[in-house]
Amino acid sequence: MSIRIKLLLSYTGMLVISLLVFVLTASLFTIAATGDIHGIRDFYKVHYQINPLTEEEESIFLELKYLAKNEPDELQNKELLSEYDFKLRTVRAGLYVRRDNDQIFESNTMNQPELEANLPPYDLNNHQIRNTLNIGERFYAYAKYDFRYSDGARGSVYVIRERSPFGEVTRKLLPILVLSLVGIVVVANVLLYRWITRSVVKPLDLLRKSAEHIKEGNLQFSLDLHSKDEIGQLNETFENMRKRLHESIQLRLQDEENRKELISNISHDLRTPITNIKGYIEGIRDGVADTPEKMDKYVNIIYTKTTDLDKLVNELFLYSKLDLKQVPFMFEHVDIIGFIDDCIDEQRYVLEEKGIRLEWKERTGQSVEVIADLEKLKRTVLNIIENAQKFMDKQDKTICVSTQLSPEWVTVEIRDNGMGIEPEAIPYIFERFYRAEPSRNSSTGGSGLGLAIASQIIEGHGGTIWVESEPGIGTSLYFTLKRATKEAV
């Protein structure tokens, strides 16, 4: 059974129960008040007819009734009647006595000229002692007793009390009021039912449809439900789950794409030197290298190509291990100044041979400790210096190394006055296999992995690496390393 049907049944059930309870209460009340159950319709009439007067008025009326029965002529005694009237006035009622067609006594509190004309005719059997009457807009409740004076003339004694018109209106409109109350209960139930279905069933329906979308593999939608209740929270969790799922699928697709690209790049990069080596070996086999000089040249080329291939495979291996986080970092306290000194000493001779001047803005005597994996850091610096010399196009070739210190970080800058990098290539140079302008790079024989490896290493150190470059002027490669504090490592 759906929630909607369950709600409908429970609300209808509640409605029926409340109406039954309403009817039952009214019936019980009627029985308790009248001792009879001729119908709820009669309840208010009976109640009013039985109790038109208050208890005090009623007791005065009973005294008057007793007089009428036993000493009727006393009800012509104006003095006595005035006394009774006084008593009645204190409880806000009035007295009226008539004899045949004459009025014997009328309370001056009544102030109702039409009263006499509206009183009921004589009924010596006194069938209806208590009743109500309307005169114009005013409404009266009374108790009366008809009797005969000793001379046989008919007489009536009335104890009359003016009632609030509101009470009368209520009495007249009671059926309508009861119907309106029942109507209010029904309408309230219908509205509550609609409200609950809207706030519960509808969002659940939306949630079900969304789950179906996900089942069909469609994750590009969003659930915009703003309610803050439990269903709202459920929707929020569901929406978060959808986002996560969407992200992870996107990531998987991206990974897949990267994997394909990697395989294609590797095959391409391996094929070129292998094709070259194969070509030269075929040349030797076919006797093209027919002189010892030619043979020497061919063998040298094959050797260089094999070395390149070896370097490429090693770089690839390192990169993939770094990427898979399979290379452990052996962190230790390293004096970065001493470390750069060593690197510079190592490279100076090779670079000077190529006509490149290596400047090192050393901070003499100052030792600055960082936390680093020495071997990997060296790899980074060498990769950057290698690039700086590879892309050098000036006559006066300079590579300048410097450091900047902050309380927490050391920034190392390696600046060259080479060809620079076009601004549009800058965001990609740390990506694997990326070479800005491949034609320009073909002579350099780079794998496109040098900066990708450097970036992996620096990130592994918790630092950052970035580049600033001006085409035609030069390039600065920066990386940061965390300074060692006493507690660290």
**Does 446 contact ligand ADP by CB under 6 A?**
yes
**Does 273 contact ligand ADP by CB under 6 A?**
no
Tokens representing 261 are 């690209």
Instruction: Report CA-CA distances (Å) from 407 to 137, 143, 463, 481.
Output: 97, 106, 14, 11
Residue 188 vs 473, nearer CB to ligand ADP: 473
Residues 64 and 66: their CA atoms lie apart, in Å, by 5
Q: Give the interface size with ligand ADP as a residue count (CB under 6 A).
A: 21
Among 159, 368, 372, 421, binds ligand ADP (CB under 6 A): 421
Q: What is the helix (H) or strand (E) element at residue 369, kind and residue range?
A: strand 369-372
Residue 77 vs 276, nearer CB to ligand ADP: 276
Residue 277 vs 316, nearer CB to ligand ADP: 316
**Does 450 contact ligand ADP by CB under 6 A?**
yes
Among 277, 436, 465, 484, binds ligand ADP (CB under 6 A): 436
**Does 329 contact ligand ADP by CB under 6 A?**
no
Among 44, 238, 434, 466, binds ligand ADP (CB under 6 A): 434
Instruction: State the greatest distance between any 2 C-alpha atoms of the chain, in Å, as a whole number.
Output: 175
Across the beta sheet with 474-482, the strand order is 356-360, 397-405, 409-416, 474-482, 465-470
Residue 15 vs 421, nearer CB to ligand ADP: 421
Taking the complex as a whole, how short is the minimal distance between the CB of residue 440 and ligand ADP, in angstroms? 7
Alpha helices per DSSP H over 35-104: 40-50, 55-70, 78-90
Instruction: Report CA-CA distances (Å) from 258 to 251, 254, 332, 412, 477.
Output: 10, 6, 34, 31, 26
Among 403, 435, 480, 484, binds ligand ADP (CB under 6 A): 435
Select the span of 180-188, 191-199, 325-333, 439-447 touching ligand ADP (CB under 6 A): 439-447
* Cβ–Cβ < 8 Å for 115, 181: no
Residue 283 vs 445, nearer CB to ligand ADP: 445
**Does 409 contact ligand ADP by CB under 6 A?**
no
Among 416, 457, 463, 481, binds ligand ADP (CB under 6 A): 416
DSSP β-ladder status, 474-482 and 102-106? unpaired
Site track for ligand ADP across 82-121, x = CB under 6 A: ----------------------------------------
Residues 221 and 235: their CA atoms lie apart, in Å, by 13
Among 448, 456, 465, 480, binds ligand ADP (CB under 6 A): 448
Helix axes 3-34, 165-196, angle to 10 degrees: 160
- Specify the amino acid at residue 62: L
Select the span of 74-82, 141-149, 372-380, 429-437 touching ligand ADP (CB under 6 A): 429-437
Among 391, 410, 456, 461, binds ligand ADP (CB under 6 A): 391
**Does 305 contact ligand ADP by CB under 6 A?**
no
For tokens 């409880």, the residue is: 91
DSSP string, 305-356: HHHHHHHHHHHHHHHHHHHTT-SPP--EEEEHHHHHHHHHHHHHHHHHHTTE
Residue 219 vs 414, nearer CB to ligand ADP: 414
Tokens representing 277 are 């080596």
Residue 22 vs 434, nearer CB to ligand ADP: 434
Residue 119 vs 421, nearer CB to ligand ADP: 421
Identify the CA nearest to 89 among candidates 67, 68, 107. Answer: 107
* Cβ–Cβ < 8 Å for 323, 452: no
Among 143, 418, 457, 479, binds ligand ADP (CB under 6 A): 418
List phi, psi (to 5°) of 271: -65, -40
Helix-strand-coil percent breakdown of the chain, rounded to 5?
Answer: 55, 15, 25
* Cβ–Cβ < 8 Å for 207, 199: no
**Does 441 contact ligand ADP by CB under 6 A?**
yes
Select the span of 187-195, 295-303, 328-336, 416-424 touching ligand ADP (CB under 6 A): 416-424
Phi-psi map region of 152: left, alpha, beta (phi>0 left; psi -120 to 50 alpha): left
* Residue showing the smallest CB distance to ligand ADP in the complex: 446
Taking the complex as a whole, how short is the minimal distance between the CB of residue 455 and ligand ADP, in angstroms? 9
Among 112, 417, 475, 480, binds ligand ADP (CB under 6 A): 475
Q: What is the helix (H) or strand (E) element at residue 28, kind and residue range?
A: helix 3-34
Residues 439 and 388: their CA atoms lie apart, in Å, by 18
Residue 203 vs 418, nearer CB to ligand ADP: 418
**Does 356 contact ligand ADP by CB under 6 A?**
no
Taking the complex as a whole, how short is the minimal distance between the CB of residue 368 and ligand ADP, in angstroms? 25
Taking the complex as a whole, how short is the minimal distance between the CB of residue 287 and ligand ADP, in angstroms? 36
Among 30, 387, 403, 456, binds ligand ADP (CB under 6 A): 387
CA 351 remoteness from chain centre: 62
Taking the complex as a whole, how short is the minimal distance between the CB of residue 392 and ligand ADP, in angstroms? 8
Instruction: Report CA-CA distances (Å) from 104 to 74, 82, 131, 154, 159.
Output: 12, 11, 21, 12, 14
**Does 376 contact ligand ADP by CB under 6 A?**
no
Among 351, 358, 451, 484, binds ligand ADP (CB under 6 A): 451
Site residues (vs ligand ADP, CB under 6 A):
387-388, 391, 416, 418-421, 429, 434-436, 441, 446-452, 475
